[in-house]
Structure 1
Amino acid sequence: METSSNTDDSSVTDFSDVGGSPNTPNTSLRPLPSIGEQSFCEGRHYHRYRPGRYLLPNDQVEQDREEVKHFMLLELTNGAHFLAPIDAAHLHKVLDLGTGTGTWAIEVADRYPAATITGIDLSLIQPDWSPPNVKFFVDDIEDEWVSGNNFDLIHARHVFPLIKEPATLTRRAFEHLAPGGWLELQDLSHLVCCDDETMTLDYPIAQLFDRITEAWGTFGADLRVGPKLEDMLRTAGFVNVETRAYKIPIGSWPHDTKGRELGLSFRVVIQMALSALCGAIATVEGWSEEDRNVLTARCDEALEDNSVHAYMHCYFVVGQKPVA
């Protein structure tokens, strides 16, 4: 198994103005039933709009997992929702690609009441009520965008590894930004690393992510696109491009409090996804139910083993559209 000895900053500088504001009145979101329909498989339900674009469920279990991931990244960034150096006075229009549960968009809307936040996703799983300055739409971000132009910030989290043409999406984001606007991508590497000798080649969690990367690759996605994002932004014309790679432990093995909290959160994130991830692998590789159950059990056991000092990188990549 490949290991990494990269070292990262122990803390994150919050480049954003994260001054809070009181909660604002909410407005109703009225979903369209035709694109809100679900399909079911093994007790889990999936979106039916553009089926196959996203291979994980969108049910309550998956939504709860997304909330844990949201908490985990806020813990990682010391509460910053984005790292792009945007002054609050210049933040007017924000687009959140693959908004999921909409929590990021809603919290940013609360913090920046003068800004308009637009969240788009394949699934209608956002709350029925939201602040008046946030709107949600069902759309496929790999199609031509109809959500507007001249955005000051376009944000995408856990999105680029799941799409087929990330370079095209990067260029599209460039076109829809206002001059001087920023694109920020936040993505896990999906490569399990270790800086000491505690992780063996047959570590189940590493094997899990190797196999899910291969399985997703059959659909044209690259789960390990994170290290390539900086070059994509530069090629698309972005300037002031910067990448920060932060380590997220897997499990509670770190000695420091923040590391343990991050590791516990990430362990929960993986545990909640195990069934669906192993199911995706089994479907692609033609596994029997026994094969699937064996991998699930091995991963469950490995996640409780704090003798293995495994971690995964999370990449934060920002780039600015030139002013002129």
Structure 2
Amino acid sequence: MDSGFPNGDTCHITEESFCSGRQYHHYRPGRYLLPNDTAEQEREEVKHLMLLQLTDGAHFLAPIAPSNLRKVIDLGTGTGTWATEVGERFPSAEVTGTDLSPIQPDWTPTNVQFFVDDIEDQWVSGDDFDLIHARHVLPFIKDPAALTRGAIEHLAPGGWLEFQDLGHLVLCDDDSMTPEYPIKQFFDKITAAWGTFGADLRVGPKLEGMIRAAGFVNVETKRFKLPIGAWSQDAREKELGVSFQMVIEGALEALCGAIATVEGWSKEERIEFTERCDKAIQGREVHAYMYCYFVLGQRPEG
């Protein structure tokens, strides 16, 4: 059976690994459990646009005046789109993106740069930042509390840390969802599979406590509801739901492979579960949703 968790030896940072027909990063393999191929990059772009829909176009919610935004770092930058757009929007800021995968574009604005770096190790990309941003990263970190404690040392006095992460818990406010709903089962099972790797997929609601414990002040959590699918009668929520449906659909195949590995499923069982999830997410009878957490904290001025 093919493993849903790619692994291998550390090698040249530009090399890639392949598993079940998908491409993965090969620098410090196994640290990030999703592919980095074209299909995954396209899914990340949909996710990026979805969060901009959610925030009415704001790339971050930290209350920083543009004149005070000198240095920004985007941890786990992925395709680099967030960092590039922030660099374009704030041309006087120096913007750095770091990731395990060198998949960012060759051309960037002159104030944007990218590094291949492991943020769970000692950072090679500097300090004295006015904003440290990490989006969809903390669920992949084995010790997010340690990362949070370390982040405060890389901030300038008065600088801000902002985490943006999905809760990965499927919720419903009426009786339209049963425990057998395949999408609920999918997120429950992948959360359990993630745990075997040593990471907490549902770290989102815990981030505020971690940030407070690390010594940040002015800590705040802003929670947004993301419908799963096009079931809402509200036009904006329906648009968000369609985007989120695309995000989930794009991850089903790869993540069902990880579930199958942990649960010992046969190829037929894996295919059957994936097909049930595909069918379920296209329906509109279940009014399911998930929260997205934006958690902010400021390094004390003194």
TM bracket (short chain): over 0.9
Give the deviation of 1:236 after TM superposition: 0.3
Structure 2, unaligned runs of 5 or more: 1-10
Q: In the alignment, is residue 245 of structure 1 matched against residue 223 of structure 2? A: yes
Q: In the alignment, is residue 72 of structure 1 matched against residue 50 of structure 2? A: yes
Q: Which letter maps to 1:126?
A: Q
Give distance in 2, aligned partners of 1:232 and 1:39.
33
1:58-84 deviation digits (Å, cap 9, x = unpaired): 000000000000000000000000000
1:42-53 alignment to 2 at 5 Å?
Answer: 42-53=20-31
Give distance in 1, aligned partners of 2:158 and 2:33.
35
RMSD: 0.8
* Residue 311 (structure 1) aligns with: 289
Contact 2:62–2:160 (Cα < 8 Å) also in 1: yes
Give the deviation of 1:41 after TM superposition: 1.4
Give the deviation of 1:186 after TM superposition: 0.2
Q: In the alignment, is residue 191 of structure 1 matched against residue 152 of structure 2? A: no
Give the deviation of 1:34 after TM superposition: 2.3
Give distance in 2, aligned partners of 1:157 and 1:88.
21
Give distance in 2, aligned partners of 1:275 and 1:241.
37
1:165-176 alignment to 2 at 5 Å?
Answer: 165-176=143-154
The counterpart of 1:283, out of the listed 261, 281, 300, is 261
* Residue 84 (structure 2) aligns with: 106
Give the deviation of 1:286 after TM superposition: 1.8
TM-score (norm 1): 0.89
* Residue 220 (structure 1) aligns with: 198
The counterpart of 1:119, out of the listed 79, 91, 97, is 97
Q: In the alignment, is residue 90 of structure 1 matched against residue 41 of structure 2? A: no
Moved more, 64-73 or 279-288: 279-288
Per the alignment, in what secondary structure is the counterpart of residue 129 of structure 1?
Answer: coil
Report how many residues are paired.
292
1:76-135 deviation digits (Å, cap 9, x = unpaired): 000000000000000000010000000000000000000000000000110111111010
Give distance in 1, aligned partners of 2:190 and 2:14.
27
* Residue 263 (structure 1) aligns with: 241
Structure 1, unaligned runs of 5 or more: 1-32
Give distance in 2, aligned partners of 1:171 and 1:35.
27
Give distance in 1, aligned partners of 2:188 and 2:262.
13
The counterpart of 1:235, out of the listed 178, 189, 213, is 213
Per the alignment, in what secondary structure is the counterpart of residue 212 of structure 2?
Answer: helix
Give distance in 2, aligned partners of 1:107 and 1:138.
19
Per the alignment, in what secondary structure is the counterpart of residue 170 of structure 2?
Answer: strand
Q: Which letter maps to 1:319?
A: G
* Residue 160 (structure 2) aligns with: 182
Per the alignment, in what secondary structure is the counterpart of residue 277 of structure 1?
Answer: helix
Per the alignment, in what secondary structure is the counterpart of residue 130 of structure 1?
Answer: coil
1:213-245 deviation digits (Å, cap 9, x = unpaired): 000110110000111100101100000000011
Q: Which letter maps to 1:235?
A: A
Q: Percent identity?
A: 70
